[in-house]
Amino acid sequence: MLSNELRYFFAVATTGSLSTASEQLYVAGSAISRQIHKLETRLGVTLFERHSRGMVLTDAGQILANHVRKNMRDMEFAMAEIQGLKAVRKALVRIACTEGMAFDLLPGVLARFRQQHPAVSFDLQVGTAMQVAEWIRRNDCDVAFQFSLAPERDVEIIATWPAPVLLLLADEHPLVTQPGVAMEDLHHYPLVLPEAGTTLRQLFDLSCRMAGTFLEPAFSSNNFAALYGFTRHTPEALTVCSHFSVLWRAKQDGMTLKTINNSSLSQRTLQIQVPGSKHRPAAVNTFLDLTARELDKEHKQWMAELTLA
């Protein structure tokens, strides 16, 4: 809570007048003036320029007023957070993600969250990595999920996990039982790839060059659902993705994820991002906490299964 000195200072700063502040606070103007003088003496600076028409903040006064205003906003937010601890009130959470996250993982996560918090609604926008990065920097969304090759600027990273590029293929595919899979092994099968320009395709093409091989896709698309469907319905076809993209769907559909012997394919991470220096409502914080725990649990389980395979 603000001291009397700061309360009186801020009232004069916002009204520009001792008399108006006196009326608002029901405190004598002389008492307000004494408190401001006491504050100026303690800080060793002049906070106001006194004019016949009112009180004008000095540079030092403006700095203090900005901090007091921020402190008051933070206190209001804290009170709202405390009130929201018992129940997440009706709210809209705006989410942005890249294509791979919208196929399986996020619909499942959002459905699970809504079972516990039916008052929360979601708006999900899907875009390219560049679009999602711009949306989160412009505060056009509350939370962003995207695969990243490098640290993002002007955003806060809530959680991050390794998201290597993996082969996705049917359980009965010949490569499933092969101990190690190299890039050149993929020549013999219909290859399904995302369009050029995505982080996944960039990594895949780089790995091909480093391995001294050229792989031409039998099918490419900017839509992961189309890539997944084509792979499922084409004998011996295979595609590439992160385990997060098909976290639950792959097992249901009899599909297997398999690593490729190429270190370049391990450079991506999955990040949960929020706008930097922005207050987050209780609903967003609750969603972030539950989602991060859910993804962390699923990632650890997948890593354990991979180790045993």
pLDDT tens-digit readout, 193-208: 998 878 788 889 888 8
What would the two tokens of residue 109 be?
């996560």
Neighbours of 268 (CB within 10 A): 21
| Strand 120-126 to 255-258 pairing | unpaired
Average pLDDT along the chain: 87
pTM of the shown model: 0.68
3-state secondary structure 79-92: HHHHHCCCCCCCEE
Which amino acid, one-letter code, is at 242? Answer: S
d(CA 245, CA 98): 10
Q: Which of 250, 246, 265, 117 is nearest to 204 (CA)?
A: 265
Write out pLDDT tens, residues 47-75.
Answer: 999 887 788 999 999 999 888 887 877 77
Write out pLDDT tens, residues 168-183.
Answer: 999 999 999 988 899 9
Write out pLDDT tens, residues 255-271.
Answer: 999 999 888 888 889 99
Does 80 have pLDDT greater than 70? Answer: no
d(CA 273, CA 137): 10
